Amino acid sequence: MKNHMKIFTVLLLFAISSFYAHQNCYANEVLNINVSTFDFPPMFYKTPSGKLSGNIGETINEILKTANIEYNLSIFPVARSYMNADRGKFDILITAHHDRFLKSSTASSWGHPWTAGIFSKLPLSEIPNNEQELIGKEIIIINDWQSPYKIYKHLDSLIASKKITVLRPNSINSAIRMFDIGRAPLLWGSDNFYWNFNLLGIDYQSLNYKPLVTTPIVLWVAKKIT
């Protein structure tokens, strides 16, 4: 548990703004860890050099660098990244705060605010706010994204009973392309998706976005680091 406690202590100290007063506590020890996530520009993504970049990525780099922690970064589709975290294959997972990981990992006190919700050409008043309003609708949700479950608690049972139809692409860009060609009138995502709309050359001026969930992006530190 030594390495787990070191990483968690570093993150905790940073979060309570006393990090730099303690930055030398592990000065003579370099720790090499494995970090896993998925590409989510402009917040975080993998550079050609194999390191993190982006709005959040640069902050995480500074936290780990100052703590004398070096890392190897692996990028996977969301579903595989989460499955690997469940199986304890990585030391740190970068993603939002989801209850799914509480048994296997410890969430950092540090977090970056993030919202999720629905894109649609429908008027804002017609975008579903809850499960009841979602019934009978078709929606695109990236495979294994956990944020919809924060508001649609019984999503899986609604799908199983065919009360709603969910299309599950493996990436943000695939989801946006499916939405753009009309595969479904609703797209679950976040305001960060505007970056991807621009990248793909897809006009989003006629779209409405309704934020429905707020949860921080955190670092999940595996409890079984030895």
| 51/39 Cα distance (integer angstroms) | 12
Question: Do 91 and 124 fall within a single domain?
Answer: no
| 34/7 Cα distance (integer angstroms) | 12
Q: What is the mean pLDDT of residues 115-122?
A: 98
For residue 172, give the CATH number of its domain.
3.40.190.10
**Cα 1 from chain centre:** 26
Average predicted confidence (pLDDT) for the chain: 87
Question: Do 43 and 125 fall within a single domain?
Answer: no
Question: Do 172 and 208 fall within a single domain?
Answer: yes
Which residues form the domain of 165?
Answer: 115-214
| 69/62 Cα distance (integer angstroms) | 10
Question: Do 29 and 88 fall within a single domain?
Answer: yes
Question: Do 109 and 119 fall within a single domain?
Answer: no
**Number of independent structural domains in the chain:** 2
pLDDT at 81 over 70: yes
Contacts 24+ apart (CB under 8 A), 23-26: 23/66, 23/67, 26/67, 26/68
Question: Do 153 and 63 fall within a single domain?
Answer: no
Question: Do 48 and 95 fall within a single domain?
Answer: yes
The pLDDT value given to residue 39: 86
Percentage of residues of the chain with pLDDT beyond 90: 62
The pLDDT value given to residue 10: 54
Strands 105-107 and 217-222: antiparallel
Question: Do 58 and 75 fall within a single domain?
Answer: yes
Structure confidence at residue 225 as a pLDDT band (50, 70, 90): low
Q: What is the mean pLDDT of residues 185-192?
A: 97
pLDDT at 147 over 70: yes
